[in-house]
Chain A
Amino acid sequence: MRRITLLAVVAAIVASGCSSSGDAHITLYSGRSEDLVQPVIDAFTKDTGINVVVKYADSADLAGTILEEGAASPADVFFAQDPASLGTVALAGLFETLPNELLGKVPSRFSDDAGHWVGTSGRARVVVYDPTSVSEATLPPTEDAFVDEQWKGRVGIAPTNGSFLAFVAAKILIDGEESTLTWLKGMAANNSPTYPKNSPIVAAVNAGEIDAGLVNHYYLLRALSENPDVVGLNYFFPEPTAGSLVMPAGAGILSSSEHKDEGRTFIEWLLNDESQTYFADETFEYPMVPGVAANPALPPIDTIATPDINLSDLAGVLDLATDLVADAGLL
């Protein structure tokens, strides 16, 4: 009897898990976390009636998965945190070319040259620092000075993290392979503490464990929204350098998709005023569509000293970036 009850419970749970398939739907691979984007997706479904089945995971992992899946990928749309993951899929020729009216909504530097993906919200690389131990005036104009003796053991980095690797890839494009390797070796020799990802760096700065760290700009604002006692501050390098690069999160449609129209409708939704305002207010990112205001706590995107590189080239040097990080002894 007990066994039958157990089986019935299990069967009921399984059935409830499998019973969601509306008429119009898309499968979304999201490298952006559920906490940040599910509200936008819910609003989309409510407005358009198109159901979105989401697979959440790390952006780089999902890019790798799409490469494995090839032409038979179940995904219709890939929504990633960074241009390197998007570029990986684009390089493999698995993205559809987006229509110009979509691409035209954002400044051309925030979308793919060939139109395979479009930026949906901007994320700036910054230095997060502890103002109780570092004054802003002593922070250098670019990340290059962090290899100096005075910063020994004080600046946290996340060498295995996707956004750090994208930053290294950008540095290769800007400064060349050799000087990037020299810089990485300098950071290693300077005993820069390494962390698995951005969020522990911000936590470590707030805890007084390190004085500064190379991260994306929005972590600090999110930590502040839950805990006003957080002490850290963001610093934007005044000179154009890889360390002040604005890298968009973005999306593209898989060429194997059978729901391309719905996919386009979805990306269009990400670029409408409602979603762009959500990204500005709730996730503290830069809106991509001109006319939508960024969070007042942030410096305007035009004032950030962004280096002149083509984001579509990042994926091409991603493996090299990982090799250099490994060569420098940071892996």
Chain B
Amino acid sequence: MIDIDPNALPQTDPIRRSRVSAAKAPWWLWVASLLIVLPLGLAIVALLVRVLDATDSAWSTLLSIRTLELVWRSFALTALVTMAATAIGVAGAWILARTDIGFKRMWGVAFALPLVIPSYVIAMVLVSSSGPRGLVAQLVGFEIPRLTGFPGAWVALTLATYPYVYLITAASIGRIDPALEEAARGLGASPWRVFRTVVLPQLRPAVGAGALLAALYTLSDFGAVSLMRFDAFTRVIYAQYSGRIDRSPAIVLSIVLILFASVIIWAERRTSGRGTTFSSTPNRPPALHRLRGAKHVLAVAGLGTVVVIGTVIPIGVLTTWVARGAYHGADISVPWNAVVGSLTGGSLAALVAMVFTVPIVVLAVRYASKRTMLLERSVFVIFSLPHITIAIAVVAFTIRWARPVYQTMFVLVTVYAGMFIAQSTSAAKASLLQVDPAVEDASRSLGRGPFATLMRVTVPLMAKGLLAGGALVFVTTLKELPVTLLLSPPGFSTLAVRVWAAADELLYTRAATAALILIAMSVLPVYFLSIKPKAVVER
């Protein structure tokens, strides 16, 4: 299971803040961390400064009643998506970890798979398969109500985000000691009571971590809300950006989103700080609940419904489009250029993110302080920004201050890594928390310097979490659109771009071909994320 620890998120845990925290962090850890955070941070700050002398109309946009209404709508959507994603993610993780349901490996992969489908593809597929003339009605004869507006956005984004909660919670369940649950059961507590009073409190930080990623993703999403025709904040930012020559209203509106995200991050921190965790690896497997009769049916039906809507229908619809187009003579050739582009962008971004995750996580865990907390939180604020805002900021910044690298792979990969590093720090922090600082102390007392200790002791010990983080960054980069469009070097293309462009022209066959290749490319990392770590890491 992927190891994203509860504590991976910006929060303090006084017990585990270990004795090393009193020590002063080596300067090069800070330099390395800031190398990835500072460029993006500076670009965004520069953008905001530029807006200070924005036109009056830009500021009046910000203060209008309409803005308040949009904040409310985005808030409601984010809250409901987060709740649904949390419920589905936690339930799925618990069923797969603690019951004797069959085909766990298959369920595990299928349940995590919506993570790799871009949210605008999920939305496009749901829109076109529902309704009286939708694909489902045509193929099966059973009409599902047309999904649009709030319900549509809610379903699409819940599907796109519950895998975060699921993966993080599943990892955490694997690490809690089943002895406590068994004791509670032995004392006569019902399974539900055990779950509520014993399991859930231990999972609380993990669930919070997943819910935070889900909430921030929802807040920054543009593709799904626009296709579902739900009036969220990002839709207006985008409209203000592309609909006029003066860009300042779009930027001013982005400020609201930054504040919004900061509040969510702060709130998550406030509530999950009290959680208890036991990050020891349990030395024996848990006794599994036996699912019999109605319960078995219920569990399979529950998992099945989610997998059907989130994985089977999207892939089925895409396949149908390819087949229908091929039948009518449409071009279904593989866009090799885009395949190479996606692979290059995704793997370089994952590699860079993994490299810079090390100093950030080591600072946060081994040298925890107010400053390292700020570092960690800024990583999450960047993750929550709409990609279009980041793209505008970086275009303006590189044109003015870093002209030679403008529209190069260097900038594109740096931005990918910086945008998504919150995911890999989350994953890696969990691993590092399980490494006893005494091991590092021993290395140092035996004459290794801090850098040698980091490279030869710390990094190998946290490799599992780092790789999981890299896989997450790879998968997310593959889905990215606005930054790719604006920052990529001329001639560079990705599968996500091909999906978007073809769908925009109603060329569903080509869009579906590219989307299916994109999903296929992400299946391997997801498989890696959802199998037990022993098989992969402890070779």
Residues of A participating in the B interface, judged by any CB pair closer than 8 Å: 10, 13-14, 16-18, 20, 27-29, 33-36, 53-58, 60-61, 63-65, 67-70, 72, 74-75, 88, 91, 159-160, 162, 165, 193-197, 199-200, 202-203, 206-209, 219, 222-223, 225-228, 231, 315, 318-319, 321-323, 325-326, 329, 331
The answer on a CB contact under 8 Å between B502 and A35 is yes
When distances are taken between beta carbons in the complex, the residues of chain B under 8 Å from A199 are 503-506
The answer on a CB contact under 8 Å between A88 and B245 is yes
How far is B503's CA from A199's CA once the two chains are assembled, in angstroms? 8
The answer on a CB contact under 8 Å between B348 and A10 is yes
Chain A, Cβ-Cβ closest to B347: A10
Chain A, Cβ-Cβ closest to B66: A329
Within 8 Å by CB of A202, from B246, B506, B507, lies B506
- A13-B343, A56-B497, A70-B399 provided; 20 other pairs, C-beta below 8 A? A10-B348, A35-B502, A58-B242, A58-B485, A64-B242, A64-B245, A68-B399, A72-B403, A74-B407, A88-B245, A91-B245, A196-B227, A203-B127, A208-B131, A209-B148, A226-B324, A318-B243, A318-B245, A325-B243, A331-B243
The answer on a CB contact under 8 Å between A56 and B229 is no
The answer on a CB contact under 8 Å between A55 and B491 is yes
How far is B375's CA from A120's CA once the two chains are assembled, in angstroms? 51
How far is B317's CA from A203's CA once the two chains are assembled, in angstroms? 15
Enumerate 28 A-B pairs (CB-CB under 8 Å) in ascending A order. Answer: A17-B341, A17-B344, A33-B504, A35-B505, A35-B510, A53-B491, A54-B490, A54-B491, A58-B242, A64-B242, A64-B247, A65-B486, A70-B399, A75-B490, A159-B239, A160-B235, A165-B243, A195-B229, A202-B506, A219-B505, A222-B506, A222-B507, A225-B330, A319-B246, A322-B240, A322-B243, A331-B236, A331-B239
Closest 8 CB pairs of A and B: A160-B239, A196-B226, A322-B243, A55-B490, A33-B501, A57-B485, A60-B242, A53-B491
When distances are taken between beta carbons in the complex, the residues of chain A under 8 Å from B486 are 57, 61, 65
The answer on a CB contact under 8 Å between A34 and B506 is no
The answer on a CB contact under 8 Å between A34 and B493 is yes
| A contacts with B: majority SS | helix
Given known pairs A55-B491, A209-B131, A331-B236, the reply for A33 and B244 (CB within 8 Å) is no
The count of residues in chain B whose C-beta lies closer than 8 Å to any C-beta of chain A is: 64
The answer on a CB contact under 8 Å between A200 and B330 is no
The answer on a CB contact under 8 Å between A208 and B403 is no
When distances are taken between beta carbons in the complex, the residues of chain A under 8 Å from B502 are 33, 35
The answer on a CB contact under 8 Å between A200 and B127 is yes
The answer on a CB contact under 8 Å between A17 and B340 is yes
**Residues B346-369 near A (CB distance < 8 A):** 347-348, 351
Chain A, Cβ-Cβ closest to B408: A18
Cβ-based interface call for B325 (8 A): yes
When distances are taken between beta carbons in the complex, the residues of chain A under 8 Å from B21 are none
Indicate with 1 or 0, residue by residue over B385-414, a CB within 8 angstroms of chain A CB atoms.
000000000011001000100110100000
**Residues B130-159 near A (CB distance < 8 A):** 131-134, 146, 148
